[in-house]
Structure 1
Amino acid sequence: MAEVLFYHLEQAKLETVLPDLLAKTLERGWRATVRVGADDKLEHLENLLWTYADESFLPHGSAGDSTDHPVWLTTETDLDANRDLLFLVEGAEVELAEIEHLTRCISIFDGADENALNKARQFWKDLKGSEHQPTYWRQSVQGRWEKQG
């Protein structure tokens, strides 16, 4: 049974939220897959993770890389069994059966994108009849993430 977290982006951008969440993931010793909804978005995120901060980077890999990195970026639906977390970004989707072995599945969606909102709502509805535990997180005016439901 996976804990499923929904991060509703209203103030912050994916480019600031995702690196912070991935850094926390690595601090806990977890391994993550970031599933991206489109190839052009994947390339953008690959570049971002190398350059998001002057003093650090997030070790990651993607298709064509033979090194087993703790963060894996992909547009594919095959999920490595040795991963603890799955991040869904930029319109990526998941089947409930895929997250059975995960510690967490994290859906990050843009509140200004109607399509992204609809996908998140449908995923939430799908989870409601399952054994998974969904929680909804929203940013406060101060920029802190607060659990809303």
Structure 2
Amino acid sequence: MQVDFYHLTTTPVERALPSIAVKVVESGGRLLVVSGDEGQRRQIDASLWTWQADSFLPHAQAGAGDDSLQPVLIGEAVDPANGARFVALIDGVWRDEALAFDRAFHFFDGERIAESRAAWKALADRQGVERRYFKQDENGRWGQAA
């Protein structure tokens, strides 16, 4: 199980998440996007429609139709009704339920640094969990820092 921590410093999650979602879907995988903030879920939904003019990424909000058909499902709970093996926690809150997936993407900003550090440290003691930390450079490019 792999957990990738993404420290958002210059790019908001609405711009950072779509490229990861595309890679997951292009590889044949499914993604569950989780946020406890309804406004953020709506924002991500809109972002996945408009992030690139020449792309289309099939997705839906949980409960808006047949969740099992969605390559990317956006919801409040860590409930992979779409059969996802990848989960993106986009509200900065770590949830241990993410450890049931093959890979988790944990996005956090400056307001959630302390909580994310605590999650990073707690995961160090978990057998079979590989942690990676990504940060942005001054141009907004992601690089693995740990």
Alignment of 1:33-44 (within 5 A): 33-44=32-43
Partner residue, 1:128: 124
In the superposition, the TM-score normalised over structure 1's length comes to 0.86
Tell me which of 124, 140, 149 is aligned to 2:137.
140
Equivalent-residue separation in structure 1 for 2:6 and 2:33 (angstroms): 14
Equivalent residue of 2:104, what SS? strand
Equivalent residue of 1:106, what SS? strand
Equivalent-residue separation in structure 2 for 1:42 and 1:88 (angstroms): 11
Contact 1:32 1:87 in 2 (8 A): yes
Partner residue, 1:90: 91
Equivalent residue of 1:26, what SS? helix
Partner residue, 1:78: 79
Equivalent-residue separation in structure 1 for 2:84 and 2:72 (angstroms): 9
Partner residue, 1:8: 7
**Cα drift, residue 80 of structure 1:** 4.1
Distance 1:73 1:81, change over 3 A: closer
Partner residue, 1:54: 53
In the superposition, the TM-score normalised over structure 2's length comes to 0.88
Per-residue CA distance 1:3-39 (angstroms, 9 max, x = gap): 0000111121212111111111112111110001211
Where structure 1 has 5 or more consecutive residues not aligned to the other structure, the ranges are: none
Equivalent residue of 1:127, what SS? helix
Equivalent-residue separation in structure 1 for 2:36 and 2:118 (angstroms): 16
**Cα drift, residue 86 of structure 1:** 0.6
State the identity as a percent.
Answer: 29
**Cα drift, residue 92 of structure 1:** 3.7
Equivalent-residue separation in structure 1 for 2:126 and 2:81 (angstroms): 22
**Cα drift, residue 58 of structure 1:** 1.5
Kindly provide the amino acid, as one letter, of the partner of residue 148 in structure 1: A
Partner residue, 1:69: 70
Contact 1:37 1:91 in 2 (8 A): no
Tell me which of 109, 113, 120 is aligned to 1:117.
113
**Cα drift, residue 102 of structure 1:** 1.9
Kindly provide the amino acid, as one letter, of the partner of residue 144 in structure 2: K
Distance 1:80 1:134, change over 3 A: farther
Distance 1:100 1:11, change over 3 A: closer
